[in-house]
Chains A and B, each alone.
Chain A
Amino acid sequence: MLAEPGALALPEVAAAADPASRGRRLPVFSLGIIGLFMLVAVLAPILSPADPFEQSLRNRFKPPVWEEGGSWKFPLGTDRLGRDMLSRIIWGSRVSLAAGVLTVLLASAFGAAVGLAAGYYGGRVDAALMRMTDATMSFPVILLALILAVTVGPSFTNVVVAIAVILWARYARVIRGQVLTLMQLDFVAQARIAGAGAWRIITRHLLPNTLGTLLVLVTLQIGYVIIVEASLSFLGAGIPPPTPAWGSMIAEGRDVVTRAWWVSLFPGLAILLVVLAFNLLGDWLRDTFDPKLRQL
């Protein structure tokens, strides 16, 4: 459930490119799925056959259309409150993708900033920032989300903040590692000689070089965030009802896993596909961008 944490700065193992995975062809499969889900998220109002919030208790737990008792009105069946599963999955894509992307952007922005600062200034700044990073990394994300859910009440922003607060530490460590290696290279010294200030060096020289790594990390983590959101919903601290979000939909269906299997199966498949797609894309990006990053 908690997948790929970022790498630490590791001694260089000779990076003989692995020809098979460097294949030139784009990861058609993953880009296709991600594109499809982006499309579904954007066109949700048009694609969704019914209003995801509209309840009709009479139609609760209707099976999917191909099962006996199913109907085309609810192609993928209905949930406990008789809401159409297909519409909720379509609208859910908007929520889950937004949660994934937002969290990861927030985390990578803050993490990269800390990483760049720590790597560039080094010394006490680096030590202080790194201790903060260590502290955050050992703080359990689930507990933080629970505490936030209990104090301020579960909400979309809470979930994003809670996960981002823990995730940034991983970015900080990876980016710092990269910056340390970049610092040894001559072009940073060159820039200093040319009189560039810290801000210019960081933004013009260091940041562009870490963008590749950031992009890899970002894609790998989006899937992971969606998974963590699902676990939070299970504990009652995820994105709150009635908002359709895949994670909470699975959690809602957990008690009727035998009777109404479709309530948690379809959102689960949706999560599986998206996370699979992002992980494969992340792998491909990593292999093309920077094989040494293989450790991610």
Chain B
Amino acid sequence: MKRARGVVSPFLLVLVLIGMVMVGSGWAQAKPELTVALSSFSTEVLDPALGGHIVKYYLSLMFDYLVGTTPDGQPSRDGGLANRWENSSDYKRWTFHLRKGVKFHTGDDVTSEDVKFSLQRAIGKRSTTGYAGPLRTLIQDIETPAPDRVVIVTKEPTLIIPTYLSRSLSTEGMVLPKKYIEANGDDVFARKPVGSGPYKFVEQVTGSHIRLAAMDSHWRIGTSKHKSILFRLVPEETTRIALLRRGEVDVADVSRERVRELEREGFPVHFRRDEAILSMWWVLGPDGRTPPTKDKRVREAMNLALDRAEIAAAIFAGKADPAAVPLGLSWSFKDVGFKVTPEMAYPYDPARAKKLLADAGLASGFNLDVYAYQLPGLPEGKALAEAVAGYWEKIGIKTRLIPVDYPAFRKLWVDRQIPGAVGYYNIANRDWIGAYALLEKMAYSPSKPNDTANDPEIDGMIAQVMRQTDKEKINALMRNIFSRLRNEHSGVPVVYLHSPYATSKTLGKWNPGTVMYDLFIDQLVSGK
């Protein structure tokens, strides 16, 4: 006489319900919206003046620049508001002729007053953009002789004004609506931005997504192929790839690790080749280099100890090429006519490295702190630090791996509290003016906190470039700076990184370009 048969409880029904849902729902992704999944939104701000340079990839869709740029970084007359610009003979007055009939999303016309207002705001106290500093020192006055003409007067002759106000660098060149901002104030603008770009702002949920809607037509791209664009924050790579497979996402940044796997499945993968140089450096002490890396031979030995080809293949899945010149931003090499000769490339020669250390009196090696951290666009950060430390261990250097996160390292580096320790960064590649600006920060003693070279000779050359207006002389100076950096082994260049972006199989052609922090999504959606 068995007990009462199984007892069916109400809760089991819920389980069945969940099961059913598991089967349903892989609905096709409507195409009018282009979805871009990224691993990090970084500052996630909407106001270009507040550290906007890192999020140019969506700001460039909402705002127009004074000077346009082609995807491979060259200035272009039909990419910016200024369709013509010329400079005075003494290189101190730069005149920009504005395009006619361009309107803000609010319907107001874009005039020279807006350009003046935007530039003054970009170099104002509240601004935290990339190059506000140099512009603040350079610009004397901004004149608006006509609604479609702006003249920028500089204290000293310079060539850099058009590039600094172009899309290739930071956001100082973005033109903002004077009337709208003065009427509503900065805070409202920071939450509901208005620009004159091809897409207008719809909504932002921090930590989740930013949605932009296409204007009917725009001088840059005509009528857009997609009614709206959605930038989604998806921190975990496995999830981004799953979204790509399910067709819920059209573009996703993926790690170099999984490119082969995705290509095998037929997903087109676009590369931003040499997007950044992974360069390591020794942190300077309060008054310059400290032993033992003060000795040039030790610096050379540490460079020779690394097998860059193996690192590129193992850590970066072959999606990287060995680098030779510390801080060597390769996109600027063409402009300045700098050629990387085969001898410059560091061979993998641990034997010679050990000999050099012995010559420097350090046969038994020395203690070295290597800081390990992840960075946006460099998920392999910690693995790289471990690998490099491993190579240095092999030539007798006793390395200590110190994991931190980047802000903590940067504070120690800038406050010079950890002399001799090693850090690294994937420095975004850029054109010669951008390269110059970067060198002016990381290889120029007077710019104190961020210097990594502390080399008087380089300081002299950089100072000259600032005041030079003869392009040929500038090129020669730049070439000498790079050669000097290489010969003095003033850093440890590791590799140039190629960043892969996987797209859905149905997506059209797209060149993510080689401009810092910008993905040229407008190319992808352009109706022209």
Contact = CB atoms under 8 A, between A and B. Distances in A.
Contacts of A53: 390
B261 A80 contact: no
A236 B405 contact: yes
B351 interface: no
A153 interface: yes
Interface in B299-343: 307, 310-311, 313-315
B163 interface: no
Nearest to B307: A57
A154 interface: yes
Given A150-B408, A153-B402, A255-B257, A241 B238 contact: no
A60 B311 CA distance: 11
A55 B387 contact: yes
A153 B379 contact: no
B257 A81 contact: no
A230 B423 CA distance: 26
Nearest to B385: A241
Given A254-B238, A255-B238, A255-B258, A57 B387 contact: yes
B350 to A, nearest CB: 13
Given A255-B255, A256-B257, A258-B261, A153 B408 contact: yes
Nearest to A256: B257
B120 interface: no
A294 interface: no
B261 A81 contact: no
A236 B379 contact: no
Given A254-B238, A255-B257, A255-B379, A241 B386 contact: yes
A57 B405 contact: no
Given A241-B372, A242-B386, A258-B261, A153 B403 contact: yes
Contacts of B379: 255
A177 B311 CA distance: 58
B237 interface: yes
A58 B313 CA distance: 9
A255 B237 contact: yes
A223 interface: no
Nearest to A154: B403
Nearest to B313: A57
Contact of B405 (A80, A150, A259): A150
Contacts of A149: 405
B27 to A, nearest CB: 25
Contacts of B314: 57-58, 60, 80-82
Contacts of B313: 57
A13 B398 CA distance: 62
A258 B315 CA distance: 18
B374 interface: yes
A81 B405 contact: no
B383 interface: yes
Contact of A259 (B261, B307, B311, B390): B261
Closest 9 pairs (CB-CB, A-B): A57-B314, A240-B403, A55-B390, A153-B404, A57-B310, A60-B314, A154-B403, A242-B386, A241-B386
Interface of A: 53, 55, 57-58, 60, 80-82, 149-151, 153-154, 236, 240-242, 252, 254-259
19 contacts: A53-B390, A55-B386, A55-B390, A57-B310, A57-B311, A81-B387, A81-B390, A150-B405, A150-B408, A153-B403, A153-B404, A154-B403, A236-B403, A240-B403, A241-B401, A242-B389, A255-B255, A255-B379, A256-B257
